[in-house]
Amino acid sequence: MTAIRVGHLYPDYLNIYADRGNIAVLAQRAVWRSHELEVTAIGMGDPIRAGEHDLYYVGGGQDREQLLVAEDLLGKASALREVVAGGAALLAVCGGYQLLGRGYRGFHGEDMPGIGLLPLETVAGERRMIGDVLLECELEPGERRTLAGFENHAGRTRLDPGAEPLGRVLAGFGNDGESGFEGCRAGRVIGTYLHGPLLPRNPWLADWLLSQALAHRSGGEPPQLEPLPDELERQAHEVSAGRARARGGKF
């Protein structure tokens, strides 16, 4: 049995839209493969130390909660950059995603500093972008998969030229409702607006994250995980994808 160590950032603040369910999915899929997920809450003032965790998770929150944690997260920026450079994986959802960029300007003009881990900036717009969304992703060369989820954000996220999006929008708004891209990916770091939570209906992404975390734990290459009988997860994905396709979109 391998213990996969997860650092859950600000679970008391960034926990909107059942995004805690992502941790539950990672834990169960690890157990099914005879591994264990050890989850540690990392809150205000808590340090991040190199080598302590294989995977970090930052959930979503409203502007008020993001404003509360932004300065503390900025104080952890250098340590987070160090652990990511050392091979740790990271998943950030919505509010957490916005704070991984260089900054987020809220609806009322609040300037929230980001940590610059992802090459992007976010500014709140007048209209919220809400609904089911479907993406096409290629995290591994030549392996295209779809991600289905739910978005609810006022932020317009602009990626820097040359930045790698998480996926191409097939239906929905995505980062800004204009570019046709959603999320951002830099190595083992993934940021996305997909809520719901994300991983129950996209088990392949949960397995990708577990594989990256196991690679960090062992110091080797990401292992090929044994497939699981994901029939219920497949059905959940198809229901969400079907709603997104029915919704349509400009992309």
Q: Please report, for residues 32, 46, 64, 212, the alpha-carbon distance to residue 190 in angstroms, rounded to integers and kept in the order given.
A: 24, 22, 23, 12
For residue 184, the cross-strand partners are 191
**What are the tokens at 77?**
């920026």
Residue 40: which residues within 8 A CB-CB, separation 6 or more? 5, 6, 7, 8, 52, 53
**pTM of this prediction?**
0.96
Please report how the helices 21-31 and 203-218 are oriented relative to each other, as an axis angle in degrees rounded to 10.
70
Which one from 35, 53, 94, 153 is the annotated catalytic residue? 94
Which of 156, 166, 159 minimizes the C-alpha distance to 208?
166
In this predicted structure, what is the pLDDT of residue 225? Answer: 96
Q: Which domain holds residue 149?
A: 3-247
Closest CA to 211 of 230, 183, 190: 190
Classify strands 89-93 and 36-42 as parallel, antiparallel or unpaired: unpaired
Mean pLDDT of 171-188: 97
Q: ∠ at Cα 153 (151, 57), nearest 5°? A: 70
Catalytic residue among 35, 153, 195, 216: 195
> Which pLDDT score is estimated for 243?
96
Contact 163, 119 (CB under 8 A): yes
Active site residue 94: yes
Q: Sorting pLDDT into bands at 50, 70 and 90, what band is 251?
A: very low
Give the phi and the psi of residue 244 in degrees, each rounded to 5.
-65, -45
The strand pairing partners of 103, in sequence order, are 113
Q: Do 180 and 160 touch, CB atoms closer than 8 A?
A: no
The whole-number pLDDT of residue 152 equals 95
Q: Which of 229, 193, 236, 189 is nearest to 209 (CA)?
A: 189
CATH code where residue 238 lies: 3.40.50.880
Integer Cα distance of 210 and 205 in angstroms: 9
Domain total for the chain? 1
Chain centroid to CA 85: how far?
17
Average pLDDT over every residue of 204-232: 97
CB-based contact 180:141 (threshold 8 Å): no
**Annotation says 195 is catalytic:** yes
* pLDDT tens digits along 17-35: 788 899 999 999 999 999 9
pLDDT for position 103: 95
CA angle 83, 206, 97 (to 5 degrees): 55
Task: Tell me the Ramachandran region of residue 140: left when phi exceeds 0, alpha when psi lies from -120 to 50, beta otherwise.
Answer: beta
The per-residue pLDDT for 249 is 62
Does an H or E element contain 39, and which? strand 36-42
